[in-house]
Structure 1
């Protein structure tokens, strides 16, 4: 993957010819041409794990020793030989060579001296961007979340966008960037990040980074260059640091309260379009006009949209449920004890079988939410075996109203009730189906047809009046007109009838 990234950078950012790239990288011409023509980096298979070098598990320890040395007298600091000896003493399984330790210590000491010399001023030409997360509380459909908002700032114009999420995991990072790219209609030439774990696996010598596979794949798909700040150097991306505060004060006060997060995020993008109709803080003109200069430098969007998800295999338990990142999700009773595939995005989580056919789709759980249960596959099976219903572990997990109703039913009633319940849930949702049962019981009806009629009444609103056509066998009556003139005569004559 790193080699592909290097090949594409040599072509896109350094303008090297295909033959020159083949010479530099050691790849043959056909391989270079294939990687440059590739324009879709969606994940098709689980990424392979890279094997770490012998020194990798001990690098953080050595870094800590050398950083502590900065406060020690010069003659009491670690030499490469002392580092090697201490590692051998403290860790019996340590078997890296003396030469590899010497090389690492020499490079690290040089790096630490460079870091202590201070920061370089950074210039951001049109087309570049900065990214960071902020924290914000919000309420979705009555539930409160302590979430995060992804911010992207364009320093040249001071334009900015944000997307609200329930986590700051890699799926949220990439989904937010993708939504903003697609809304704006282009991709920044370079983006500055801090060393977030969703993008950076490890900081190496001389400031180089090992990037996570998902982030690297996303970066190659959209073609931007990534730059990472020095640790604890927030000033290097001061534009987005300011934008984090601006978005919080102007968008998330008071606490946002909405029905659906995905729809709210679309609304945020349009609100921030309108926010650009104001002066740049340095008086250079309207932000909207300056942002057009940014957009002229943007890369075009790739033809294929990037599919953001985390891919993982798990085994379902005896009830067909699976556990993913401490949360429990239902699949289907037919998948009990079988391996399934998880496709987890920022908003949703799909569960697929081994043929990549979707079994069920859940809203992804975050925070205090622990379990998501989609009943349809289970209720369909129960409808086929109503006599065994009460003896299944799932019966006790059914809504109380439905359990009480089923307890009073005979075999045929149970079968019809479960079929009607599945039909109602598919038509709207489980809450509406339960409400129909509660209303039906309140009205004194206990058969499936009456419950269905109650459901239709509750979900359809007021029904229109219709004309009733009578059959031809019904005799036609002559129209009768009421004449009250005789009563008028009686009143005017004072009660005397002639």
Structure 2
């Protein structure tokens, strides 16, 4: 009989007793004994039944040994503590236990391990203590991985997050890597959005971008030199969490924020053409999150952040270079190697040393102080990113190398070398031969350096339609397209009534002013015809 049923039974007995029924009549009516009737009349609430005495167990003789093992584990390295299997093995080999099963030992260890931790003053495991955060003083930083479709290919990027502990205001930034450049750029972007730097501590885990070495089991860290300079520049007070899952609980706000941001804004997987476009989306998502309420808070994120905005430390006037400067040398393939990846530079720089500013998502190459190349940073290792324009001077001397060039294949995949280029190239090779036709194409490709891409495509289409397979004809039509605003992007444009290629003389005559002089006359010369000859 359950406790609720006994309460109802006691209530019925007491009701019958008040109605005048005798004890025996109550016993017969409810089928209970004399003691039950007396207990019900004494108290309306049934007494708790006495617990059965604990039965002896075969494990009782080994419990002190198990307790000693669990106590010794408190001072052992985390990855070298006893598992239940190891405890059973030791009990069997060292203490002669042979008639106790594994589940019995496992149940005892599961109960006793947290009790011993508390007895030894280590605190109760798994306890979360509520915290109160002051406005404008505390923040948390972390990285998380996200998946995006970058130019149609599923790619893994890194999401930086800085979250204010009081208001829950979070700023995010996506990058190609999770290295030190992305770490610094994320901070600078977040501080600019917030309008200042948290006046108190910022919590970090032990990222390699900031921590070079963790000293023992303490909170002391050996920091990297650039991170020390960065902290000094922005006056950041860093607090490093414990390694592992324990440290993740110390900055649970930002840990949960990254997961929330992925689930709410990056599902389904976003499709973008560049990381710049992705970060514009992320900025719009951050602005939308300012209107949300966290839990049962009375104010929105934006309202709470307005209360702590004025308490932030001001930003320094001087800027901090977040990128990393490296000085690779250009190899004979007109490429430089940066972080295991290869990037092309103009072929005239072969053998020279360049200066490269490596940012989180891109890199720029300088020859002295002159900018010579810029690339989007590769997301993989051992890859290459080649710009077809960097090899055009080399193709003039070696036109036979163009058809199989890696730079040409990458330009096709990127869409900069279009079907219009291929059609014009094929027609030029058919008309002038492979060598001369390829050189003519190279001259057309050189037009992209000083003419807009869409205007060159318009010129190619117009020249191809008219059968003018020379670079000069393409240049003329591209200039016409730029002046008139024509944008022909198809390889085979529809025919028009006006000729695609016009006479240069006729084009110049149309721009001359109207001649108002009378037409010339030969009347005066007709008088000479009347003279007779002698």
TM-score, normalised on structure 2?
Answer: 0.59
Rounded Cα–Cα distance in structure 2 between residues aligned with 1:405 and 1:214: 56
The aligned counterpart of 2:323 is 309
Which residue, 212, 216, 219 being the options, matches 2:231?
219
Structure having greater relative contact order (Cα 8 Å, sep ≥ 6):
1
Extract unaligned runs of 5+ from structure 1. 1-63, 75-112, 477-498
- Alpha carbons of structure 1 residues 296 and 470: separation in structure 2 relative to 1, 3 Å: closer
Rounded Cα–Cα distance in structure 1 between residues aligned with 2:322 and 2:518: 70
Rounded Cα–Cα distance in structure 2 between residues aligned with 1:114 and 1:193: 27
Which residue, 454, 463, 468 being the options, matches 1:445?
468
The aligned counterpart of 2:5 is none
Which residue, 375, 390, 403 being the options, matches 2:399?
390
Alpha-carbon contact 2:428-2:440 (below 8 Å) kept: no
Does structure 1 residue 289 correspond to structure 2 residue 313?
Answer: no
The aligned counterpart of 1:194 is 205
Alpha-carbon contact 2:143-2:160 (below 8 Å) kept: yes
Which residue, 131, 135, 140 being the options, matches 1:130?
140
Does structure 1 residue 461 correspond to structure 2 residue 486?
Answer: yes
Alpha-carbon contact 1:187-1:224 (below 8 Å) kept: yes
Alpha-carbon contact 2:150-2:274 (below 8 Å) kept: yes
- Alpha carbons of structure 1 residues 342 and 409: separation in structure 2 relative to 1, 3 Å: farther
- Specify the SS of the correspondent of 1:196: coil
For these two proteins, the number of residue pairs brought into alignment is: 368
Rounded Cα–Cα distance in structure 2 between residues aligned with 1:195 and 1:428: 48
- Alpha carbons of structure 1 residues 428 and 138: separation in structure 2 relative to 1, 3 Å: farther
Extract unaligned runs of 5+ from structure 2. 1-74, 88-119, 409-416, 489-497, 499-506, 520-534
Following superposition, the deviation at residue 230 of structure 1 comes to 0.6
Does structure 1 residue 325 correspond to structure 2 residue 339?
Answer: yes
Following superposition, the deviation at residue 406 of structure 1 comes to 7.0
Following superposition, the deviation at residue 266 of structure 1 comes to 3.7
Following superposition, the deviation at residue 254 of structure 1 comes to 2.0
Alpha-carbon contact 1:277-1:286 (below 8 Å) kept: yes
Does structure 1 residue 229 correspond to structure 2 residue 241?
Answer: yes
Equivalent residue runs for 1:96-135 within 5 Å:
121=129, 123-127=132-136, 128-135=138-145
Equivalent residue runs for 1:120-199 within 5 Å:
121=129, 123-127=132-136, 128-189=138-199, 190-199=201-210
Which residue, 274, 297, 300 being the options, matches 2:314?
300
The aligned counterpart of 2:374 is 361
Rounded Cα–Cα distance in structure 1 between residues aligned with 2:121 and 2:337: 46
Following superposition, the deviation at residue 474 of structure 1 comes to 8.8
- Alpha carbons of structure 1 residues 433 and 395: separation in structure 2 relative to 1, 3 Å: farther
- Alpha carbons of structure 1 residues 147 and 68: separation in structure 2 relative to 1, 3 Å: closer
- Alpha carbons of structure 1 residues 197 and 469: separation in structure 2 relative to 1, 3 Å: same
- Alpha carbons of structure 1 residues 116 and 475: separation in structure 2 relative to 1, 3 Å: farther
Does structure 1 residue 373 correspond to structure 2 residue 386?
Answer: yes
Following superposition, the deviation at residue 238 of structure 1 comes to 1.0
Equivalent residue runs for 1:394-433 within 5 Å:
396-397=405-406, 398=408, 401=422, 404=426, 418-429=442-453, 433=456
The aligned counterpart of 1:203 is 214
- Alpha carbons of structure 1 residues 439 and 115: separation in structure 2 relative to 1, 3 Å: farther
CA deviations over 1:67-96 (Å, ceiling 9, x no partner): 55543999xxxxxxxxxxxxxxxxxxxxxx
Alpha-carbon contact 2:341-2:381 (below 8 Å) kept: no
TM-score, normalised on structure 1?
Answer: 0.63
- Alpha carbons of structure 1 residues 283 and 451: separation in structure 2 relative to 1, 3 Å: same
CA deviations over 1:324-353 (Å, ceiling 9, x no partner): 223211122222123222211012211223
Alpha-carbon contact 1:343-1:351 (below 8 Å) kept: yes
- Alpha carbons of structure 1 residues 279 and 462: separation in structure 2 relative to 1, 3 Å: closer
CA RMSD of aligned residues (A): 3.9
Task: From the CA coordinates, give the structure whose radius of gyration is larger.
Answer: 2
Following superposition, the deviation at residue 369 of structure 1 comes to 9.0
The aligned counterpart of 2:18 is none
Rounded Cα–Cα distance in structure 1 between residues aligned with 2:315 and 2:280: 19
The aligned counterpart of 2:271 is 257
The aligned counterpart of 2:289 is 275
Alpha-carbon contact 2:175-2:182 (below 8 Å) kept: yes
- Alpha carbons of structure 1 residues 417 and 67: separation in structure 2 relative to 1, 3 Å: closer
Following superposition, the deviation at residue 422 of structure 1 comes to 2.0
Rounded Cα–Cα distance in structure 1 between residues aligned with 2:474 and 2:80: 77
Rounded Cα–Cα distance in structure 1 between residues aligned with 2:473 and 2:437: 12
Alpha-carbon contact 2:456-2:474 (below 8 Å) kept: no
- Alpha carbons of structure 1 residues 424 and 339: separation in structure 2 relative to 1, 3 Å: closer
